[in-house]
């Protein structure tokens, strides 16, 4: 079985340089771990302001949260871009591509993800496309990211999702990825409430029918 991606967690959306450096160091260790395991790409995040009380509140607000008082999104993007620039030499040294996910925070939208990727401007920072993290204009936003995508995380919600349920047209997703010559892996990310023993095989049948 191929090890296709390593899921990592970090946040660079902090006015504290020490916090950002801790997250840079943590991500550098993840890059080295991926190298030693032979994993070609790792999922990375921008991070978020952290002003939501908890994740339930964040999801209730569709992933949108207030900025830290006294700071702007432009400052936040600056911290994120600077942090990834510092990680590019390690990624290149190890031959591991960083895939910035459309997760939440400053990477909630395709525009936010591309703002970072295009500013860093390196083949070692590309995109991890999560099909379930666009709550508006999902197909348009997926297509915006498709040319830079190195890994697809395909969500299914059999039995209904925990925070929300999306009805994703996977033949349409497959067509837009094919249009942009995507040749990487499609990774199932099951987030439904149904029994995984039946829902995971059903999800795999759905994805195989769409992508084959």
Gap between the Cα atoms of 77 and 67, Å rounded: 12
User: Hey, what are 86's tokens?
Assistant: 């510092």
Gap between the Cα atoms of 54 and 46, Å rounded: 18
Gap between the Cα atoms of 15 and 70, Å rounded: 10
List the chain domain ranges.
Answer: 6-211
Within 10 angstroms of residue 70's Cβ, the number of other Cβ atoms is 7
Mean pLDDT of 37-59: 94
What are the angstrom distances between the C-alpha of 210 and each of 166, 176, 186, 207? 17, 12, 11, 5
Model pTM?
Answer: 0.95
Residue 190 pLDDT level (bands cut at 50, 70, 90): very high
Mean pLDDT of 120-143: 97
Mean pLDDT of 156-167: 95
> Is residue 132 within a helix (H) or strand (E), and if so which, with residue range?
none
Mean pLDDT of 182-205: 97
Instruction: Round the average pLDDT of the chain to a whole number and report it.
Output: 96
The pLDDT of residue 117 is 98
The pLDDT of residue 146 is 98
Whether the pLDDT of residue 40 is over 90: the answer is: yes
What are the angstrom distances between the C-alpha of 137 and each of 132, 168, 190? 12, 12, 21
Mean pLDDT of 183-188: 96
The pLDDT of residue 1 is 85
Gap between the Cα atoms of 100 and 103, Å rounded: 8
Whether the pLDDT of residue 15 is over 90: the answer is: yes
The pLDDT of residue 37 is 97
Gap between the Cα atoms of 88 and 2, Å rounded: 24
Residues of the chain with pLDDT > 70, as a percent, come to 100
What's the alpha-carbon Rg for the chain, to the nearest Å?
17
May I ask the CATH class of domain 6-211? alpha beta
First-to-last C-alpha distance (Å) of the chain: 19
């Amino acid at each position: 079985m191929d090890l296709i991606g390593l899921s990592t967690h970090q946040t660079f959306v902090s006015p504290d340089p020490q916090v950002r450096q801790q997250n840079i160091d943590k991500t550098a260790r993840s890059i080295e771990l991926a190298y030693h395991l032979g994993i070609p790409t790792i999922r990375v995040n921008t991070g978020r302001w952290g002003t939501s009380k908890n994740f339930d509140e964040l999801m209730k607000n569709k992933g949108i949260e207030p900025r830290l008082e006294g700071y702007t999104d432009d400052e936040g993007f600056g911290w994120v871009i600077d942090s990834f620039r510092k990680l590019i030499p390690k990624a290149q040294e190890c031959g591991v591509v960083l895939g910035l996910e459309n997760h939440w925070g400053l990477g909630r939208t395709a525009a936010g993800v591309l703002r970072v990727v295009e500013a860093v401007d390196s083949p070692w920072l590309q995109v991890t496309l999560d099909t379930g993290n666009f709550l508006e204009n999902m197909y348009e936003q997926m297509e915006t990211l498709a040319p830079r995508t190195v890994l697809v995380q395909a969500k299914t919600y059999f039995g209904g999702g925990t925070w929300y349920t999306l009805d994703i047209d996977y033949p349409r997703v497959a067509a837009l990825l094919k249009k942009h010559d995507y040749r990487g892996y499609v990774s199932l990310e099951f987030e439904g409430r149904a029994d995984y023993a039946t829902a995971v095989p059903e999800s795999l049948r759905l994805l195989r029918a769409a992508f084959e």
